[in-house]
Structure 1
Amino acid sequence: MDAPVALVAGGSRGLGLLIARELLDRGHRVTVCARSAADLDRAVSLLSAHGPVEAAVCDVREPEQISALVRRVEERQGPIDVLVSVAGVIQVGPASSMTDQHYRDAVDTMLWGPVRLANAVLPGMRARGRGRIGTVTSIGGKVSAPHLLPYSVAKFGAVGFAEGLAADLAGTGITSTTIVPGLMRTGSHERAHFTGSQQAEYAWFGPAASLPLLTMSAERAARKIVDGVLSGRPHVVLTPMAKVGTRVHGLAPSSTVRLLGVMNRLLPDPAADRDAHRARTGRDARRDLSPLASRTVAVLTALGSRAARRLNQRGVSRATGR
């Protein structure tokens, strides 16, 4: 029997890279896609020792590219048995520094991307009567955190899509898994885009995405995600904070929003200059920190920075992924 075929969107780095590796280790033939050919070349070199892997450049914001991607995978590797949508973009900053384009990028990547990818693979899955679809959402799709508004808007939509799809597919042999992770040590702070007071935003987000008490090992997260998707579980919720946050918000939504408002007052004030809307990557923002702040943040982000080196987050492109 031929090995099952898996497509991982946003599989060139971070969590997506680890999910692809986990699927290879479990005997799947895997195609990873991302926006950057350079990121994909490095990903293939990291993954090829684990099994047969192919790479395809695809911007999940573009419907035609998604259709071409699915056709290519099915022509080269066979019918797609497993789809995992991981591609994403993280934009950090106050709502006043976010433009319509920030929201468009987030929604097109993290909501329309999973919708169109699922719609592209579902006809074949329905014809065969089997298939597994996993959509990586976020605790930000259950509880909208301050200074991450475009991200949360897109992730709330992705949660609604993945959950609704699971109900719609009941009894078909195809499953949809809603994956709700909290913060993970994937090195995402180096590729995230910061607006407003960019250095100050990086100085809080970098440590929050790196400290062990706040985050989960990305390798452990990938194992649990693949376990859940392949077994057809409706939900995979990762990290204690994500589990507690979803429950508290469900029981006391007004109190949760008020608490988040208090947290917002502790975050950097919006920048007043005309460059406040301009996004800079974490690596660029870090370079402009004062020497003392730079050393302090370097210590606090040490684990996240190690993950960035390990998980292909050090490239120069703006490829999708976490």
Structure 2
Amino acid sequence: MTGAPSAGAPLALVVGGSRGLGFAAARQLADRGHRLVLVSRNAEDLERAAHTLRGEGAEVEVVACDVRDADGIDALVEDVETRVGPVEVLLHVAGVIQVGPLASLSRDDFREAIDIMLWGPINTALALVPRMTTRGHGKIGVITSVGGIVAAPHLLPYSTAKFGATGFARGLRSELAGTGVTVTTVEPGLMRTGSHLNAQFVGDQPREFAWFSALDNIPLVSMDADRAAGQIVDAVLDGRAVVQPTPMAKLAGRVDALAPRATSLLLATMTRLLPGAPEGQEHERIPGHVAQARMQPKARSRMDRITTLGRRAAGRLNQSFRTD
């Protein structure tokens, strides 16, 4: 860190800033001299994140709020702007990952993904945009995904929400042209944030966890979260239209644009290779760390080795979880 922000330093509101990529981005904003307000549903995660960042010299406030609650977000923004100061930067990172085949997913899985990752950005933007446009300046960053460009196998609720968020963020930028407020659509691929431990798995959970965690942790496929966060924050502060901080995101979008039929066939083949829905299984959704615990001992030990970088990132980026 370069030191604590000075009085009158710009204020950044990081929604989903208590852990993972949001926490890494908050750290990058603090390093660039911003005061922080972190928002998350989990008050315990927020306090732990704030304690860490304050120890590094950041000026941090935390507010527990659910992005699905539009009235709650409106009240939060009113309180922050009245009590702390005008928000110069809004970064929406809050998300949920549900992994598994369509046959094992429920309507509630889709509803949750859309409410958090599409309505979340809409709710926060509608609360802040009028204030930013009145002031004539502001920076908004919406974390979407390569999964909002190319629909990834066994991530259908996630991709559904991210496609919507991508359209919203890109369209919002056009709507705000000339107001002094910029919107950056962030379209990353896989990053080593430790999220595989908190992602939700359905179907054959141990096998779903195995393939997802392996891809999420391979250095040539996934990207270090701190490096990605630095690129994301730079792009948002520069007011760029789109940033794709991981090599896989850049490649996937280009391949799909040039050869959509080939991309569709490849994704269909990948889907057929992934685990199917167990017959007669009732809908059950469990976090990644529980799915790994259900593996056979040898498989669990192998996954520990494969996911070493991700587990280190989890500790660094406040990815806590309950083990009971």
- The question of a shared fold, defined as TM-score above 0.5 by the shorter chain, is answered with yes
User: Aligned residue for 1:320?
Assistant: none
Q: Deviations over 1:250-280 (max 9, x none)?
A: 11112111110011111111111333x2110
**Ranges of 4+ aligned residues in structure 1 off by more than 3 Å:** none
Choose which of 79, 82, 90 in structure 1 pairs with 2:97: 90
CA distance in 1, matches of 2:57, 2:273: 44
d(CA) in 2 for partners of 1:76, 1:98: 42
In the superposition, the TM-score normalised over structure 1's length comes to 0.96
Aligned residues: 316
Within 2, Cα distance between the matches of 1:21 and 1:284?
Answer: 29
Residue 24 of structure 1, aligned match among 8, 19, 30? 30
Q: Residues 68 and 123 of structure 2 are in contact (CA less than 8 Å); yes or no, is this contact kept in structure 1?
A: no
Task: Report what 1:260 is aligned to.
Answer: 267
Contact 1:29 1:77 in 2 (8 A): no
Correspondence for 1:280: 286
Q: Which amino acid aligns with 1:66?
A: I
User: Aligned to 2:29, what secondary structure does the other structure show?
Assistant: helix
Give the secondary structure class of the aligned counterpart of 2:131: helix
- Output aligned runs, 1:60-79, within 5 Å: 60-79=67-86
Decide whether the 8 Å contact of 1:21 with 1:50 is kept in 2.
no
**Identity within the alignment, %:** 53
User: Which one of 234, 237, 251 corresponds to residue 258 of structure 2?
Assistant: 251
Q: What's the offset of the Cα at 1:98?
A: 0.9
Q: Which protein has greater RCO, CA pairs closer than 8 Å, 6+ apart?
A: 1
Aligned mates of 1:67, 1:169 — CA distance in 2? 20
After TM superposition, give the deviation of residue 55 of structure 1 in Å.
0.4
SS of 1:32's partner is strand
Query: For residues 154 and 39 of structure 1, what CA distance do their matches in structure 2 show?
Result: 24
- How far 1:64 moved relative to its partner? 1.5
In structure 2, the partner of 1:139 is 146
Report whether the alignment pairs 1:13 with 2:32: no
Instruction: Tell me the equivalent position of 2:178.
Output: 171
Specify the alignment match of 1:226 in structure 2.
Answer: 233
Q: Is the 8 A contact 2:17 2:38 kept in 1?
A: yes
Partner deviation per Cα, 1:18-75 (whole Å, 9 max, x = no partner): 1111111111111001011111111011111231100000111111111121112112
**Alignment deviations for residues 165-201 of structure 1 (CA, whole Å, 9 cap, x no partner):** 1111111111000000000000000000000001110
Where does structure 2 lack aligned partners over 5 or more consecutive residues? 1-6
Structure 1: which 5+ runs fail to align? Answer: 318-322
Q: 1:71 to 1:315 in 2, by over 3 A?
A: farther
- 1:208-223 counterparts in 2 under 5 A? 208-223=215-230
Task: Write out per-residue CA displacement over residues 75-120 of structure 1, whole angstroms, 9 at most, x where no aligned residue.
Answer: 2211111000000000000011111100000000000000110110
8 Å contact kept, 1:211–1:304 = no
Query: Which of 297, 305, 320 is residue 303 of structure 2 equivalent to?
Result: 297
User: Which stretch has the larger CA shift, 235-244 or 6-15?
Assistant: 235-244
Which of 183, 189, 212 in structure 2 is aligned with 1:182?
189
Residue in 2 that maps onto 1:191: 198
Which is further off, 244-253 or 102-111? 244-253
- Give TM-score scaled by structure 2 length: 0.96
Give the aligned CA root-mean-square deviation in angstroms.
Answer: 1.1
> Following the alignment from structure 2 to structure 1, what is the Cα–Cα distance between the partners of residues 75 and 216?
34
Amino acid at match of 1:39: D
Residue 161 of structure 2 aligns with an amino acid whose one-letter code is: A
Residue 213 (structure 2) aligned to one of 206, 217, 233? 206
The CA deviation at 1:283 is 0.6
